[in-house]
Amino acid sequence: MAETVRWLTPEEQRAWRGFVRLHERLGGRLGRLLQSESKVSPADFAVLVHLTDSPHGRQRYQDLARSLEWEKSRMSHHIARMAGRGMVVREECPDDGRGAFVVITDAGREAIEAAAPRHVEAVRDLFLDHVTPAELRVLTEISERVIRRMDEDPS
Amino acid sequence: MAETVRWLTPEEQRAWRGFVRLHERLGGRLGRLLQSESKVSPADFAVLVHLTDSPHGRQRYQDLARSLEWEKSRMSHHIARMAGRGMVVREECPDDGRGAFVVITDAGREAIEAAAPRHVEAVRDLFLDHVTPAELRVLTEISERVIRRMDEDPS
DNA sequence: TAGACACGGTTGATACATCACCCAATGGGA
DNA sequence: TCCCATTGGGTGATGTATCAACCGTGTCTA
């Protein structure tokens, strides 16, 4: 079995390593920047973005988890910590006795509004400004195609 | 200041989110696969790959940290855990009283040789097989260009 | 040759992710 | 109507990442 492995060609190897490293570095910098300048971690940021995108700044735990592709356990722990820092609150759901909402607070809105401009600027400085529109289209297409494949085949 | 932010255009937004999500999903799957089938975490895997690439399967902590872009602290903690599991050993450095080597063990070699084929196969199945050679070249170029920029400007 | 400073690595505290379970509410059949 | 599988969420243990502070060793220079 091990003898039939199709190892990566040099170009494939280079592409794959480059891709992995790109994300590592980019993610690292953006994360550090967010955290150092605004007391909002990348995870916090993602949660807050989704909440501000939702009506009344509220979402069910599960829906949030699905759109962030987090496990419910992670969501639960993380929201608890964020609630502890006053950025969100947990709210019971009257319709469904089991369910719960997570709702953004004023402090949460302030936090993300403070963090967003620097974040967007950094995404530009570090990434978008160095990619041509044509390349960007290729990247978008690759990403969406591969993600679609993974959706179809939950392995 | 907040008024002068160049927010992302819809295409940029789509590209950026796609890129971020692509890595999240791909990384998640590959990591889970690695861990579930071989008792080697993605971090372990990276360390072992670098060690097998080095003469005598040994490298200085710092060198390893630099090429993986880890902090020395992370390296220290992680190697300690890997040593606990018998995949590597720590070795004093005679030339430099401060320094130390990390050396792969036979068990470490077995572990990575067991894990690599499945990993490569998954990288293909999930990613490379869905990207054309031309797209792959674009991706490589983007990655290397952006990484180069970050090297030049350590912000 | 004595400081002073840089380097290589370690440690402990804290935050975070994941896993394996748990629990209660729900909703569909038999 | 009862039963039971499913769903929405929570919990605690464990492994991992990050930060800051630390320590001994090496190196440079006054």
- In chain B, the percentage of residues whose pLDDT exceeds 90 is 55
Residue A28 belongs to a domain: no
pLDDT at position A118 = 87
Distance CA B75, CA B59 (A): 12
Instruction: Report d(CA B116, CA B34) in Å as an integer.
Output: 9
Distance of CA B36 to the CA centre of its chain: 18
Over residues B36-68, the pLDDT tens digits come to 778 888 899 999 999 999 999 999 999 999 888
Is residue B77 predicted with pLDDT exceeding 90? yes
Determine the average pLDDT of the residues in A119-128. 90
B99 falls within a domain:
yes
Tell me B103's DSSP state: E
Question: What is the 3 state secondary structure string of chain A?
Answer: CHHHCCCCCHHHHHHHHHHHHHHHHHHHHHHHHHHHHHCCCHHHHHHHHHHHCCHHHEEEHHHHHHHHCCCHHHHHHHHHHHHHCCCEEEEECCCCCCCEEEEECHHHHHHHHHHHHHHHHHHHHHCHHHCCHHHHHHHHHHHHHHHHHHHHCCC
Quick: pLDDT tens for B3-30.
Answer: 678 888 999 989 998 888 888 788 888 8
CA angle centred on A115, ends A26 and A30, rounded to 5°:
10
A88 in any annotated domain: yes
> Is residue B144 included in any domain, yes or no?
no
Could you tell me if B139 and B131 are in contact, meaning their C-beta atoms sit under 8 angstroms apart? yes
How many domains in chain B?
A: 1
- Whether residue A133 lies inside any domain: the answer is yes
Distance CA A100, CA A88 (A): 13
In a domain, B147, yes or no: no
How far is it, in rounded angstroms, from Cα A153 to Cα A73?
A: 23
Helix (H) or strand (E) holding B80: helix B72-84
Strand B58-60 with B100-104, pairing = antiparallel
- Phi–psi pair at A85, nearest 5 degrees: -90, 5
Report if residue B6 sits inside a domain: no
Asked if B143 has any chain A CB less than 8 Å from its own CB, the reply is yes
Encoding tokens for residue A89? 């609150």
- Beta carbon of B70 within 7 Å of strand D? yes
Greatest extent of chain B over all pairs of C-alpha atoms, in Å:
59
Confidence at residue B2, expressed as pLDDT on a 0 to 100 scale: 47
Q: Is B130's CB within 8 Å of A149's CB?
A: yes
**Residue-averaged pLDDT of chain A:** 89
Q: B105 is in which domain, residue-wise?
A: 17-136
The distance (Å) linking the CA of A75 with the C1' of C19 is 14
Q: Which residues sit opposite B88 in a β-bridge?
A: B104
Q: Smallest Cβ distance to B155: which of A27, A29, A133?
A: A29
Check B25 against A150: CB less than 8 A apart. Answer: yes
The beta-carbon neighbor of A150 closest among B29, B113, B155 is B29
Q: Say which CATH number the domain at B25 has.
A: 1.10.10.10
* A10/D1 CA-to-C1' distance in Å: 67
Q: Has residue A70 been placed in a domain?
A: yes
pLDDT, one tens digit per residue, over A30-88 is: 888 888 788 889 899 999 999 999 999 999 999 999 888 889 999 999 999 999 999 99
Residue B89: strand pairing partners: B103
